[in-house]
Amino acid sequence: MKKVNVFCSLLTACIGFSCFGQESYSLTYEFIDYRADVSESVLIVKGDQSVFKILHNGKEGWTQNEDDTRGTYILNDELGTFTYSADSLTYVRTPYRKSKGGTAYVYKRGASNWELTGNSKKIKEYLCQEALVVLNGRKFSVWFTPEISINRGPLKLHGLPGLVVEVIELNGFCKINLVDLKKTDKDTIVMDSIIQFFKENPVLEYSKYEEIVKKILVRLKIRMAKHKAESIQRDGGTLEYSFAHGDYYFVKRVIDIPRGTIEDLGKIDL
């Protein structure tokens, strides 16, 4: 794996008055994943830097609920899922591919093409507006309030003119709800530890991440298709699968969907 050498120079550039001379915030969110499991998450904003960490509650192993007839393997580890954003770069660490020690990668964010829908509603005490965006294969509906001028949001949902209060990924990946907000200068431990992680561990360029993860996801569906064919041949019957959100079922564990993955998955008969 190629370690991104731009991180240290970026970090050096950020350790200046512009990053640390501004107010810091600690925001707590409720993170609801594709299985409707609820975890606490935290967003720390410090100047033009931010970190977002999901404090997963689920234990690793197979689990099943009424809507998941085949069962789901919960993937988690002691590090969990977190992101770090500064300037135009976002770093991501996920437990996915645990056999390889998880995956860390970086991508450069372009200008987010936020689309304001004109919809508004009140969430808690905040009057919110809705904005839509597609980021790395994920489609988000985001409700934000201009009443509080924080332009950093959960995951990599940055650049809105106000505080992110609610997030819905429209293909079932997650829902995120604001729980609490406070000004603070005492939560730097979380940010510092995440920055240190990306300094000390291999980080994939985004193109390499896409190449690796796309192959894994396509192979997963091919294995399922092979299993279906073998079962039909062995038993002379039929085997039916029904996945919520279609081929998005296969990308449920990844924050960022590699380009072309959904199209390639759609070519595999299951």
In DSSP terms, which residues pair with 139 in a beta bridge? Answer: 134
10 pLDDT band, cuts 50/70/90, is: very low
> Residue 21: its pLDDT value, please?
40
69-78, 109-118, 164-173: which has the minimum mean pLDDT? 69-78
Q: What is the pLDDT of residues 139-150, one digit of tens each?
A: 999 999 999 999
- Predicted confidence at residue 102, as pLDDT, reads 78
pTM of the model: 0.81
Q: Is the pLDDT of residue 65 over 70?
A: no
Token couple for 188 = 């730097």
For residues 166 and 130, the answer to whether their CB atoms sit within 8 Å is no
More confident residue, 236 or 102: 102
Helix 6-14, helix 188-200: angle, nearest 10: 150
Q: Enter the DSSP assignment of 122.
A: E
- Structure token pair of residue 40: 């606490």
pLDDT at position 245? 60
For the chain, give every residue range classified as CATH 2.50.20.
6-208
Q: Which class in CATH covers the domain with range 6-208?
A: mainly beta
Please state whether beta strands 204-205 and 103-108 pair in parallel, antiparallel, or not at all (unpaired). parallel
Listing DSSP states for 199-213 in one string gives: HHS--EEHHHHHHHH
SS3 category, 241 = coil
CA 210 to chain centre: 15
